[in-house]
């Protein structure tokens, strides 16, 4: 059930009117539903009950400390892609021993930080990274726990910018090189091979490509086993899609049911039932539908070819449309009677690419509030300060209460780090 719905013609987040949030905190503002976050996380954790499994929320989707704290309290681990993200987990009271560290460009400093906090595993994406990690771990007198991110070369059938498991992508070690990479990893003194990992893409509606990737990883684990290289966990990454428009994404429980069924029959036939830990790295499916971007109409600019609805949120607040031509739903906060016109909802940024939604039928007036739906994932985390625009406020709603979880950035804070220095 959606936690953003109309009551007497006024859109609410849980039991809080979005117009009240706009009055109290201004716009643009990201608004998140606590119940939605909890339900979305539970879809994963419930399906993992009684299993040796770990859900590591991919925090690049939304890394607000309040959201991390909430998920950590529910038992979530975290999938990180930078040292900064690890520091966020620590600040939010998360457990570094439930953290996986992914990403193609880990620096030595980031490796040292992660090693010093004893994270669960490094998802290593290349041979040079393996050598560097071995060297850094050696300097610290440690062994780095490692999975290799294997690129299974399956087509996730999603937008090319969010497909990551094809041969042409920068991510992971090619499937055909994986065996040699594992042999090397097993031979390095400060590397401890613990797992195998993949992440094939994002906003996947069907789980067939994920199951195809799983089958390939299973084959590889068997091959490694014959070589005497034992793998203790298998990480399937994230990627489960959400509803933006009329998509019908696979249900999390159904997907996990199929994953565990395959793993069970594999372990029963080959390993006398001995278990293997399974990790998941969902991002979008946990936070995407749990948030909206609340924005106010500044001007209406009807024209000969197009009608523009100019709002106070822009591409710097929500990049997905400009970056991926993503379709995001738009609704008015107050349901209005009348004849709908077709509007392009655009921001004030000086770029033609600054649009949030195109050709939408809306009954709208100046100063109305709108929401952009399903903006909880890859919204605030991708925001920038382009055009010297402070980033939006963030508010968390819990039933009939709401709380500010990030202040709106002030213009002064944007240039506080700059110095009017000269070399004269």
Ligand X SMILES: *Cc1c(COP(=O)(O)O)cnc(C)c1O
Instruction: Pick the closer one to ligand X by CB: 25 or 101.
Output: 101
Q: Least distance to ligand X from the beta carbon of 313, Å?
A: 22
> Nearest distance from residue 285's CB to ligand X, in Å?
6
User: Binding mask 184-213 vs ligand X (x if CB under 6 A, - otherwise)?
Assistant: ---------------x--x-----------
- Backbone phi, psi, residue 239, to 5°: 115, -10
Residue 152 vs 282, nearer CB to ligand X: 282
Q: Nearer Cβ to ligand X, position 153 or 285?
A: 285
Interface with ligand X (CB under 6 A), residue total 16
Give min distance, CB of 122 to ligand X, in A: 12
Chosen residue from 129, 281, 317, 354 binding ligand X by CB under 6 A: 281
Nearer to ligand X, 152 or 347 (CB): 152
> From the CB of 377, what's the least distance to ligand X, in Å?
6
Other C-beta atoms lying within 10 Å of the C-beta of residue 339: 6
- The count of residues in the chain is 424
Single out the segment in contact with ligand X by CB under 6 A; choices: 19-27, 233-241, 347-355, 367-375: 233-241
The residue within the footprint of ligand X, chosen from 283, 347, 376, 379 (CB under 6 A), is 283
From residue 93 to residue 122, the character string flagging contacts with ligand X as x (rule: CB under 6 A) and all else as - is ---------x--------------------
- Among positions 47-86, residues that touch ligand X (CB under 6 A) are 58, 60-61, 79
Q: Considering the complex, state which of residue 209 and residue 238 has its C-beta at the smaller distance from ligand X.
A: 238
Helix (H) or strand (E) holding 294: strand 291-301
Q: Indicate the residue among 61 and 314 with the shorter CB distance to ligand X.
A: 61
How far is the C-alpha of 399 from the C-alpha of 404, rounded, in Å? 14
Q: Which of 145, 238, 249, 347 binds ligand X (CB under 6 A)?
A: 238
Options 39-47, 267-275, 279-287, 356-364: segment touching ligand X (CB under 6 A): 279-287
Reported as type and span, the H/E element at residue 263 is helix 252-270
Binding segment for ligand X (CB under 6 A), chosen from 14-22, 231-239, 385-393, 401-409, is 231-239
Binding part of the chain for ligand X, among 39-47, 129-137, 277-285, 404-412 by CB under 6 A, reads: 277-285
> Least Å distance between CB 71 and ligand X?
14
SS (H, E, C) the chain: CCCEEEECCEEEECCEEHHHHHHHHCCCEEEEEHHHHHHHHHHHHHHCCCCCEEEEEEHHHCCCHHHHHHHHHCCCEEEECCHHHHHHHHHCCCCHHHEEECCCCCCHHHHHHHHHCCCCEEEECCHHHHHHHHHHHHHCCCCEEEEEEEECCCCCCCCHHHECCCCCCCCCEEHHHHHHHHHHHHHCCCEEEEEEECCCECCECCCHHHHHHHHHHHHHHHHHHHCCCCCCEEECCCCECCCCCCCCCCCHHHHHHHHHHHHHHHHHHHCCCCCCEEEECCCHHHHHHHEEEEEEEEEEECCCCCCEEEECCCCCCCCHHHHHCCCCCEEECECCCCCCEEEEEECCCCCCCCEEEEEEEECCCCCCEEEECCCCCCCHHHCCCHHHCCCCEEEEEECCEEEEEECCCCHHHHHCCCCCCCCC
Give yes or no for residue 125 binding ligand X (CB under 6 A): no
User: Which CB, 60 or 391, lies closer to ligand X?
Assistant: 60
Cβ closest to ligand X, residue 27 vs residue 285: 285
Q: Which residues are catalytic?
A: 350
CA distances in angstroms from 282 to 60, 62, 213, 232, 242, listed in the order given: 10, 11, 16, 20, 11
Site string for ligand X, 239-268 (x = CB under 6 A): x-----------------------------
- Tell the smallest beta-carbon distance from residue 169 to ligand X (Å): 11
Which letter does DSSP use for residue 390 in this model? P
The interface mask with ligand X, positions 341-370, x = CB under 6 A, is ------------------------------
Least distance (Å) between residue 88 CB and ligand X: 15
Binding site for ligand X (CB under 6 A): 58, 60-61, 79, 102, 199, 202, 237-239, 281-285, 377
């Amino acid at each position: 059930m959606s936690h953003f719905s109309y009551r007497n013609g006024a859109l609410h987040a849980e039991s809080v009117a979005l117009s009240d949030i706009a009055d109290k905190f201004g716009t643009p503002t990201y608004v998140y539903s606590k119940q939605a976050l909890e339900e979305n996380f539970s879809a994963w954790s419930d399906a993992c009950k009684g299993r040796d499994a770990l859900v590591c929320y991919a925090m690049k989707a939304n890394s607000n400390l309040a959201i991390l704290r909430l998920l950590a309290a529910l038992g979530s681990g975290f999938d990180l892609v930078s040292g900064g993200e690890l520091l966020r987990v620590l600040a939010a009271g998360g457990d570094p021993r439930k953290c996986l560290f992914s990403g193609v460009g880990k620096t030595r400093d980031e490796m040292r930080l992660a090693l010093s906090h004893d994270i669960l595993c490094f998802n290593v994406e290349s041979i040079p990274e393996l050598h560097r990690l071995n060297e850094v771990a050696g300097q610290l007198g440690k062994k780095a726990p490692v999975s290799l991110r294997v690129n299974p070369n399956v087509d996730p059938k999603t937008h090319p910018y969010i497909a990551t498991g094809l041969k042409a992508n920068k991510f992971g070690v090619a499937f055909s090189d994986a065996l040699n990479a594992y042999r090397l990893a097993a031979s390095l003194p400060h590397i401890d091979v613990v797992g195998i990992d993949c992440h094939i893409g994002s906003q996947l509606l069907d789980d067939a490509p994920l199951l195809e990737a799983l089958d390939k990883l299973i084959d590889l684990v068997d091959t490694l086993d014959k070589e005497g290289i034992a793998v203790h966990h298998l990480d399937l990454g994230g990627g489960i899609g959400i509803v933006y428009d009329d998509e019908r994404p696979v249900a999390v429980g159904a997907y996990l049911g199929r994953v565990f069924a395959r793993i069970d029959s594999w372990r029963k036939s080959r390993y006398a039932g001995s278990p293997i830990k399974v990790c998941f790295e969902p991002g979008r499916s946990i936070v995407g539908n749990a948030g909206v971007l609340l924005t106010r109409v500044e001007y209406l600019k009807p024209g000969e070819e197009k009608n523009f609805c100019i709002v106070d949120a822009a591409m710097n607040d929500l990049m997905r449309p400009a970056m991926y031509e993503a379709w995001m739903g738009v609704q008015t906060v107050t349901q209005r009677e009348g004849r709908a016109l077709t509007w392009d909802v655009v921001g004030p940024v000086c770029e033609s690419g600054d649009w949030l939604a195109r050709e939408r039928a809306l009954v709208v007036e100046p100063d109305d509030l709108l929401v952009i739906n399903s903006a909880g994932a890859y919204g605030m985390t991708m925001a920038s300060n382009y055009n010297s625009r402070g980033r939006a406020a963030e508010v968390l709603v819990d039933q009939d209460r709401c709380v500010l979880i990030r202040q709106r950035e002030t213009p002064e804070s944007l240039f506080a780090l700059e110095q009017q220095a000269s070399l004269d």
